[in-house]
């Protein structure tokens, strides 16, 4: 694979990533990068949004303004522990930049982030005033894609809010405890306790013999939460926003970006192909869950998989653009 094709892959991933990030940030109140952005429709994963933004920040410096804004107005709606857990799925540079966000959050009064805050660098010019921040004075919580944040604001930043959002995002489909844990990024025991409490409260229902499956009835929740009420007139059926596996798809795109940045002279085609296979294997569950039809490595021996992986990346970025 030529360096030109690797550069094209990197450009494709970054363009798709920046576009989806902007669409999600704009829903919850961040200012536009340029002009009017097309609205996001699917449920926003707040921690995945932050972490992918931190990763892509050097490629799109204006994301730094959104991150600073969110540290000031919305850090209290984030789970510190879940952020740390999901950060392990991203390249190491993301974790390093998380310290800057944590420092901004502490400066805004959220001391939960103190132990993760990095020291300011000498070249930094200090915090900006609220009037200079690129976003609304408060996050917008009522648009349907902000469901996780809205439930956290009303019920607390706990696994219960995220589990309920996930089940609502399945639109009457049922999920097991393990499926819910995989989707939300919480420990299985934590998710199990959340499901039991939500069922006991009558918020969700369970069915099945042996392995229980849980679902959230859409109709009553649609009345309470008024899904789609801030969207266009053709959305008045108030369907729940769809759940997407951003906490797996965003890390995949981040690692593809890192993979495409390898020095071609030092990385032979076979080694590039081997690393591409590793990425496929690690993120295969995300492709299957999202029903993204991608080529299987087994059909492409050796370096022949490079072209198939290029197609995998293309289909994934297309899916992300169509399903945000």
138 part of a folded domain: no
Which residue among 132, 159, 177 closes a domain?
Answer: 132
**Angle at CA of residue 220, ends 216 and 221, nearest 5°:** 60
> Within this chain, do residues 272 and 197 fall inside the same structural domain, yes or no?
no
Q: pLDDT by residue (tens digit) across 265-289?
A: 555 788 899 999 999 999 999 999 9
If asked whether residues 69 and 106 sit together in one domain, one would say yes
Domain final residue, candidates 175, 207, 235:
235
Q: What residue ranges of the chain have pLDDT lower than 50?
A: 33-35, 127-131, 232-236
Answer whether residue 240 is part of any domain. no
pLDDT at 75: 97
Is 65 in the same domain as 15? yes
The enclosing domain of 228 has a CATH number of 1.10.10.10
Judge if 195 and 111 occupy the same domain: no
pLDDT tens, position by position, 1-38: 678 889 999 999 999 999 999 999 999 998 754 445 57
Whether residues 150 and 65 share a domain: the answer is no
Q: Do the domain assignments include residue 24?
A: yes
Q: Looking at the structure, do residues 102 and 152 belong to the same domain, yes or no?
A: no
- Whether 125 and 229 share a structural domain: no
Say how many domains are in the chain: 3
DSSP calls for 217-266: -HHHHHHHH-TTTTS-GGGTT-PPPPP--HHHHHHHHHHHHHHHTS-TTT
Residue 61 maps to a domain = yes
Q: What is the pLDDT of residue 193?
A: 98
Q: Which domain holds residue 19?
A: 3-132
Does residue 25 sit within a domain? Answer: yes
Neighbours of 232 (CB within 10 A): 8
207 shares its domain with 301: no
User: CA 141, 320, 280: angle at the middle one, nearest 5?
Assistant: 125
Cα–Cα distance for residue pair 166/170, rounded to 1 Å: 6
Do 230 and 274 lie in a common domain?
no
Which of 132, 157, 176 is the last residue in one of the domains?
A: 132
Nearest alpha-carbon partner for 58 in 26, 106, 96: 96
- Taking the complete model, does pTM exceed 0.85, yes or no? yes
| 126 and 148 assigned to the same domain | no
Q: Please check whether residue 139 lies inside any domain of the structure.
A: no
Helix, strand, coil shares, percent, the chain, to 5: 60, 5, 35
Is 120 found in the same domain as 155?
no
- Alpha-carbon distance of 258 to 280, in angstroms, equals 14
Regarding whether 106 and 127 lie in a shared domain, the answer is: yes
């Amino acid at each position: 694979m030529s360096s030109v094709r690797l550069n094209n892959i990197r450009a494709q991933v970054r363009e798709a990533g920046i576009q989806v990030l902007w669409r999600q940030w704009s829903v919850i109140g961040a200012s536009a990068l340029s002009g009017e952005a097309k609205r996001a429709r699917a449920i926003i994963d707040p921690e995945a949004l932050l972490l992918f933004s931190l990763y892509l920040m050097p490629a799109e410096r204006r994301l730094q303004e959104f991150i600073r804004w969110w540290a000031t107005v919305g850090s209290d709606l984030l789970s510190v522990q879940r952020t740390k857990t999901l950060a392990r799925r991203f390249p190491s540079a993301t974790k390093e930049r998380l310290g800057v966000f944590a420092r901004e959050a502490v400066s805004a009064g959220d001391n939960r982030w103190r132990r993760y805050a990095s020291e300011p660098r000498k070249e930094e010019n200090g915090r900006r005033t609220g009037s200079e921040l690129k976003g609304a004075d408060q996050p917008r919580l009522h648009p349907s894609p902000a469901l996780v944040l809205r439930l956290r604001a009303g019920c607390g930043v706990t696994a219960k809010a995220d589990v309920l959002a996930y089940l609502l995002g399945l639109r009457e489909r049922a999920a097991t405890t393990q499926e819910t844990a995989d989707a939300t990024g919480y420990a299985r025991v934590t998710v199990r306790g959340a499901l039991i409490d939500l069922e006991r409260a009558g918020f969700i229902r369970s069915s099945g013999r042996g392995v229980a499956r849980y679902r959230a009835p859409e109709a009553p929740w649609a009345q309470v939460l008024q899904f789609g009420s801030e969207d266009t007139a053709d959305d008045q059926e108030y369907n729940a926003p769809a759940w997407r596996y951003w906490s797996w798809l965003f890390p995949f795109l981040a690692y593809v970006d890192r993979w495409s940045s390898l020095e071609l002279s030092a990385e032979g085609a076979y080694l590039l192909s081997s690393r591409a296979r590793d990425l496929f294997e690690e993120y295969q569950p995300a492709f299957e869950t999202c029903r993204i039809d991608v080529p299987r490595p087994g059909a492409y021996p050796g370096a022949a998989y490079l072209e198939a992986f290029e197609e995998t990346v293309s289909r994934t970025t297309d899916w992300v653009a169509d399903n945000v």
